[in-house]
Every structure is written in structure tokens, then in C-alpha cells.
Amino acid sequence: MVEQSGYLVKIDIAKKQLAEEETQRQAEAAARQGGGSSVSTESSGGSSQFDYPANNGYGSEPVNNGSAPTPPAPINKRFFMSANLDTTRINRDVQKYVEEVIQHLTSVDGVKIKVSLEVEAESTDGFSQQTVRTISENCRTMRVRDSGFED
């Protein structure tokens, strides 16, 4: 979907195009003669034209013909992601996520960020007692929230 707020237009050309499109729509409506109805509304900001199409099986929602502003897009308030890292290139991968994602998130005022690391390892031959002791001590020292070995 293309966001319309990213377009630059010349106001007089846009007004001319809108007027031409409105004239064309009115001519088509006159040709249909009674196939639908039209409602104009005026406010301090100008007038808006909504065409109510004939019963087309889709209900009677008004169709905005472009003269009234469209409602703002919903505001995204939460971001999440999950990614698998290649253990042979873990430093590069983590750095890439920091530069390309996390850095942009931390630049937003008032944002709260939580970054987690999840590790799962399986060995068909089992882990040696030396490995179990070293990893367990390191996890305690680094205050890892949850860790352990299983049979």
C-alpha cells in the first residue's frame, strides 16, 4: 500500500483535477438517473461530496470522492521480532540487528525496549561434567534468569 502523505502535488493542478473528476462523476450520475443519491456537506473547512452508490450488494457505505481528507492511519504502538542466529556468525548477526532495528527503536522518545536471548542446545553424546560446571557457573555469575541441563 502506498501512503498518500508521501506525494507532492501542485495545489492548482490538483484542484483542477478534482473539479474535472467531480464533473465527470456528476455526468455519470445523471446518466444513471436515479441509480444512486448524492449528499453534500459543508463545514468551516470547506465542503465534501459523498456519493452513495446504488444497491450493489455491498451495503450503503458512502464513497469518498477525494474532496474530504481521509482518516489518519492507525498508530503502531508495539513492535516485536524473533530471529534465528547463525552461531558461526553470531557477532555479525547481532551487530546487524542492533544497527538496523534496535538503534532505530532506541531513538524514539519514551520507548521501552526489552531484548532477550534464548539458547537451546542438544548433544547426541551428552555434555561433559566440565562443560556443565563451566556453563552453570557462567550463567550464575551473569545472573541469567533461567538455565539448566536436562537428561
Taking only the tens place, the pLDDT of each residue in 33-54 is 655 444 444 444 444 454 545 5
Cα–Cα distance between 145 and 48 in angstroms, integer?
A: 58
Q: Which of 120, 113, 112 is nearest to 85 (CA)?
A: 120
Cα–Cα distance between 94 and 70 in angstroms, integer?
A: 40
Higher pLDDT, 19 or 59: 19
Overall average pLDDT of the 100-122 stretch: 92
Confidence of residue 114 (pLDDT cuts 50, 70, 90): very high
Confidence of residue 6 (pLDDT cuts 50, 70, 90): low
The mean pLDDT value of the chain amounts to 78
Range with the lowest mean pLDDT among 57-61, 70-74, 79-83?
Answer: 57-61
Give the pLDDT score at 99: 92
Strands 46-52 and 37-43: antiparallel
Q: Is the pLDDT of residue 58 over 70?
A: no
Higher pLDDT, 151 or 2: 151
Cα–Cα distance between 90 and 28 in angstroms, integer?
A: 63
CA atoms within 13 A on the CB side of 109: 0
Give the pLDDT score at 60: 47
